[in-house]
Amino acid sequence: MLDIPPPVRVHVDALPAAQNDMGVCDAIARNVPVGKPTAMSAPHLPKVAGIDSTVPSPAHTAAPTTPTSPSAAHLPGIPGALIQDHLAAWVSDLTTLHELTERLVTTGSLDEALREVLRAGAALVGARRGMAVLEPADGLGPTSTVGLGLAHAELGTIETVPRSATSYGRILDGLPDPLAVPDPIAVPDLLGQAELDPRHREVAARLGYAASYALPLATEAAGRLGAVVWLYDEPAEPVERQRHLIGLYGRYATEHLARLLELERARVQVATVAEELLPSRLPRVPGVQLAARHHTGPQGGGDWYDALPLPEGALGLAVGSVSGTGPSALAAMGRLRASLRAYAVMEGEDPVAVLSDLELLLRLTEPARSATALFAYSEPKQRKLVLAGAGHTPPLIVGDHRTEFVETSLSAPLGMLACWEAPSIEIAPAPGETVLLYTDGLLRRTGDPMDRAFARLHAAAAGVPKADRTDPGAIADHVLRTLLPEGLDHAVDGEDVVLLAARFE
C-alpha cells in the first residue's frame, strides 16, 4: 500500500542485541558507524504498526546532508541523530496511516466511510471543514454528498456554485476517460484569484473559507468514484509531506469505497428482485382493508406475502418463508408463491388442501429446501376466516376489546411432513378488528428469545393508539416502531420482515 522511495538505508550489526535494552531508533543511533549512510542497507529492520519496515522511506523526507560546520563534521553523534530523526518521522507517518486505515475499514456504509475519509483527511492536511462527493464515473450510482463542519444548508450553498468553477467539479467532470486518475487540485488563496467565478467568490466569503485542497477518489482499478475537498479558513495549502500522506490514504480509501459500492449495488439489486416477486399492489375487496410492510435483508431472504381476490367476493391471504438467503432463496420464494396462488384459485376454500398440495410440490421438486406458510381463506362480508399453517407463527387479532394470538394447530414446516398433520381453524373477527399476519423474521430481529419476542409483539399490538386502529397501515407501522425502535438497518445482516394486516369493517 505504501509506495515510498529510499534515500537512506542503514546497516546495523549489533541491532538485535541492542534492542533488548533500548528502542529501535536508539539502537540504530548507538550502533551505526560514522561514514556513508546512503551506501548501507538494513535487510532486517523490524515491522512497525503492522507494516513491513523494509518498505523504502517516504519521498517527502529529506536525505541526510553533509554538515556545513567544520567542527560539526567531527562530532560522532551527528550522523546517528540525523538517521534517528529520519526514521522517527517515517515510523510516525506509518503509524498514523495504519491507525487511520484501521478506522476506515470498520465502516460498513458508503456515507459512514465518506465521513471517516473527511475526518481523517482533515487531520492529515490541517483543515477544519470539508465536503465529499460520491459520483461514480460509470453513472450507475448511487450518488451522495456529505460534509464535515458544514450544515446541510451550507452544502446546498456550495452546490449553487457552477461545478466548472470548483476544484472538486473539475476533478469529477474534467477528464472524459472514467478510468483516468486526475491530479489533486490545491487553491492556496481562493479570494486572491482575479479570475475566480463571482458566485464562487460570494459563497466563499459567506461561508468564510479562503483556500481549498481537492483530492480525487480514483484509482486505475476502481475508476473515478468521486472527490473530496477540504476548506481552509485562511490562505494555506498542504506541504509536500502532507500531500504524500493524503495521497497514500486516498488510494486506500478509494479501494475501500469501491468494495462498499459493489456491496450496495448488489443489495439494491437483490431488494429490487424481491420486490418484483411480491404483489405490486394489494387488491381492493369490499369489507376489508389491507396493508403490507416488507423489508428485505442485505443478502436477500425468502420471506413473502400475498393477497389475491377469489371467486364470489372471497379473499386469500398468505405469508411464508423459504429457508436460505440470496438469489436461490428468492427464486424458490417466487416459485412457491406462484404455486400457492394457483392452488388457492382452484381450492382456496380449503386451506388444508392448498398447503397439502404445496407440501407435495416442494417435497418432489426441491427436496433439500424447507419452508413455512400460512394461508387464510376469507369471506369479508361475513367476517369469517378459515386458515391453516405449516410451521408458521400464529396470527394476532388486534381490536378495541382484545389483543390475542390465534391458537392454530401445530405442524411441521413444508418439506418435512410425511402426511398433513394440522387441521384448519375458523375465526370470526369483530367489526373494526385487524388480523395481523407476519413472519418470524419480525421476532428474530428483536434479538430476544422467542417467548419474550412474542410477549413484546403482543404488548406492541395492544399499545396501538385508538386513533390508529382504523388504519391497518398505521397498526403495522406502530408494531414495527415499537419492536424495532432503531429501525431496520439495511447494511446489517438480518432476517427479512413481513407484516400483512387485514382490518375487517
Per-residue pLDDT at 60 exceeds 80: no
- Residue owning grid cell 534517528: 84
Contact 405, 350 (CB under 8 A): no
**Predicted TM-score of the model (pTM):** 0.65
Per-residue pLDDT at 175 exceeds 80: no
What is the rounded distance in angstroms from the CA atom of residue 112 to the CA atom of residue 264? 13
Per-residue pLDDT at 50 exceeds 80: no
Check residues 94 and 327 and name the one with the higher pLDDT. Answer: 94
What is the rounded distance in angstroms from the CA atom of residue 297 to the CA atom of residue 322? 14
Task: Give the helix ranges, DSSP H, for 348-381.
Answer: 351-365
pLDDT of amino acid 75: 42
Could you give the C-alpha distances from 116 to 19, 100, 102, 215, 287, in angstroms and in order? 36, 9, 11, 15, 53
Q: Which H or E element spans position 112? A: helix 110-125
pLDDT of amino acid 30: 40
Buried b (16+ CB within 10 A) or exposed e, 140-157: eeeeebbbbbbeeebeee
What is the rounded distance in angstroms from the CA atom of residue 185 to the CA atom of residue 60? 18
Percent residues over pLDDT 70 in the chain: 80
pLDDT band at 106 (very low <50, low <70, confident <90, very high): very high
Pick among 3.60.40.10, 3.20.20.190, 3.40.50.620, 1.10.3720.10: CATH of 278-504: 3.60.40.10
- Give the residue among 67, 77, 65 at the shortest CA–CA distance from 8: 65
Q: What angle do CA 341, 344, 350 make, to 5 degrees?
A: 155
Task: Give the helix ranges, DSSP H, for 37-76.
Answer: none
Check residues 98 and 489 and name the one with the higher pLDDT. Answer: 98
Q: Which residues are 316's β-sheet partners?
A: 308, 377
What is the rounded distance in angstroms from the CA atom of residue 38 to the CA atom of residue 10? 8
Average pLDDT over residues 470-499: 83
What is the rounded distance in angstroms from the CA atom of residue 438 to the CA atom of residue 94? 52
Copy the grid coordinates of residue 172: 469529477
pLDDT of amino acid 275: 78
Q: Among 73-87, 236-250, 300-314, 405-419, which is the least confidently predicted range?
A: 73-87
Residue 181: burial class (beta carbons within 10 Å; 0-12, 13-18, 19+)? middle
pLDDT tens-place string over residues 399-450: 999 999 998 776 788 887 655 566 889 999 999 999 999 999 899 888 899 9
Contact 263, 232 (CB under 8 A): no
What is the rounded distance in angstroms from the CA atom of residue 108 to the CA atom of residue 261? 10
Per-residue pLDDT at 299 exceeds 50: yes
Average pLDDT over residues 365-388: 91
pLDDT band at 205 (very low <50, low <70, confident <90, very high): very high
- Residue owning grid cell 480509501: 253
Per-residue pLDDT at 51 exceeds 70: no
pLDDT tens-place string over residues 2-49: 444 444 333 333 333 333 333 333 333 343 333 333 333 333 333 333
pLDDT tens-place string over residues 310-352: 998 999 999 999 988 777 888 888 899 999 999 999 988 999 9
Per-residue pLDDT at 306 exceeds 50: yes
Contact 248, 97 (CB under 8 A): yes
What is the rounded distance in angstroms from the CA atom of residue 382 to the CA atom of residue 398? 18
Average pLDDT over residues 279-291: 91
Copy the grid coordinates of residue 66: 553533509
Copy the grid coordinates of residue 117: 475519509
pLDDT band at 86 (very low <50, low <70, confident <90, very high): confident
Q: Which H or E element spans position 145? A: strand 144-148
What is the rounded distance in angstroms from the CA atom of residue 490 to the CA atom of residue 272? 13
Q: What SS3 string covers 230-286?
A: EEECCCCCCCHHHHHHHHHHHHHHHHHHHHHHHHHHHHHHHHHHHHHHCCCCCCCEC
Could you state, in order of their start, the residue ranges of all structural domains in the chain? Answer: 15-103, 107-270, 278-504
Average pLDDT over residues 444-457: 92
Q: Compute φ and ψ for 259, nearest 5 degrees.
A: -65, -45
What is the rounded distance in angstroms from the CA atom of residue 329 to the CA atom of residue 369? 9
What is the rounded distance in angstroms from the CA atom of residue 225 to the CA atom of residue 179? 10
What is the rounded distance in angstroms from the CA atom of residue 171 to the CA atom of residue 163? 10
Contact 498, 296 (CB under 8 A): no
Could you give the C-alpha distances from 473 to 143, 256, 281, 407, 435, in angstroms and in order? 31, 39, 14, 24, 12
CATH class of 107-270: alpha beta
DSSP 379: E
Could you give the C-alpha distances from 86 to 14, 208, 389, in angstroms and in order? 20, 37, 73
Largest CA distance in the chain: 109
pLDDT band at 66 (very low <50, low <70, confident <90, very high): very low
- Helix, coil or strand: residue 313: helix
Copy the grid coordinates of residue 413: 414446516
pLDDT of amino acid 4: 43
Per-residue pLDDT at 197 exceeds 70: yes
Q: Which H or E element spans position 39? A: none
